[in-house]
Amino acid sequence: MGFGSIALEAIIGFIALFILTKILGKTQMNQITVFDFISVMVLGELVGNAVYDQDVGIQEILFAVALWGALVYAIDFFTLKVRKSRKILEGMPSILVRRGIIQYDELKRNKLDLSQMLQLLRDKDVFSLREVEYAIFEPSGTINVLKKHNYQQPDQQALNIPEQDVYLPITIVADGEIVEENLDEIEWDENRVIMEAERQGYQLKDIVYAEWEKGKGLFILSSE
């Protein structure tokens, strides 16, 4: 295959993909669904393989792009018109935290563990579960948070409250197990955790998550 032929097919493929993107509409990368991601990957493979295949010409490339684009457009149109199809084709949001309580069934259904959920919360500038009233896991893989009333706006600056030190909450219990390496940071041991839990009316075996923050003490979520 000559360089000119490769260049021509690559340019035609690029233009075809650009036009197809304009037709299908804009979607922010952090909002794409699993189906959108697969569609983009397959479409890229179709054009990429076709460019370097000597038996495939410009007509075949345009046909592949047009056919795949038509299929994607048909799915988008179908989900727009038929509401019941969205649950299967696009997925539905899942409530991971409801009224401050972790929904472990939803975590398992979405193949998430507690550490992954905490990371998603930190992406939303939420560093403590005590702030969370609701956490909703979207089909795009992002999480949206509704904070408890005391942690919502207006912020401290708007109320002219003097600036105070901010401390990072430290996870002490996750998924029902004590995080040993974090105990050293607060100079606690397992007995201290058990004593503090019992003081708040909890047994260690019933705790699914606990975090400690300087000035606020131990915050506990149980399985009950």
- Number of H helices and E strands in the chain, helices first, is 8, 8
For residues 156-171, average pLDDT: 75
Residue 198 confidence (pLDDT):
92
- Looking at the chain, the whole-number percentage of residues with pLDDT higher than 70 is 66
* pLDDT given at position 5: 64
* pTM of the full structure: 0.56
pLDDT of residue 46: 67
Residue-level pLDDT at 79: 67
| pLDDT of 180 over the 70 cut | yes
Q: Where are the domain boundaries for CATH 3.30.240.20 in the chain?
A: 94-151, 170-222
DSSP string, 152-210: SSS-TTTTTPPP------EEEEETTEE-HHHHHHHT--HHHHHHHHHHTT--GGGEEEE
More confident residue, 119 or 52: 119
Backbone angles phi, psi at 55, to 5 degrees: -90, 0
- pLDDT for residue 199: 92
pLDDT band at 193 (very low <50, low <70, confident <90, very high): very high
Residue 221: in which H helix or E strand, if any?
strand 217-222
Model confidence band, residue 52 (pLDDT cutoffs 50, 70, 90):
low
Is the CB of residue 137 less than 8 Å from the CB of residue 110? yes
149 exposure class (CB count in 10 Å sphere: 0-12, 13-18, 19+): exposed
Its sign, for the CA torsion 198, 204, 205, 211, is positive
Average pLDDT of the residues in 116-127: 89
76 contacts: CB under 8 Å, gap ≥ 6: 24, 25
Instruction: Supply the pLDDT for residue 167.
Output: 80
What's the pLDDT at 29?
45
The yes or no reply on domain 94-151 and CATH 3.30.240.20 is yes
The pLDDT of residue 92 is 77
Answer whether 175's CB lies under 8 Å from 208's CB: yes
Q: Is the peptide bond before 154 cis (omega within 30 degrees of 0)?
A: yes
Strand 170-174 relative to strand 207-213, pairing: antiparallel
Burial of residue 143, with CB atoms counted within 10 A of its CB: 0-12 exposed, 13-18 middle, 19 or more buried: buried
More confident residue, 103 or 166: 103
- What pLDDT is attached to residue 156? 64
Checking if the pLDDT of 187 tops 80, the result is: yes
- Taking residues 60-83, report their average pLDDT: 72
Of 23 and 41, more confident: 41
Arithmetic mean of pLDDT over the chain: 77
* Mean pLDDT, residues 123-150 taken together: 87
Fold of 170-222: CRO Repressor (3.30.240)
pLDDT of 211 above 90: yes
- Res 28: pLDDT: 42
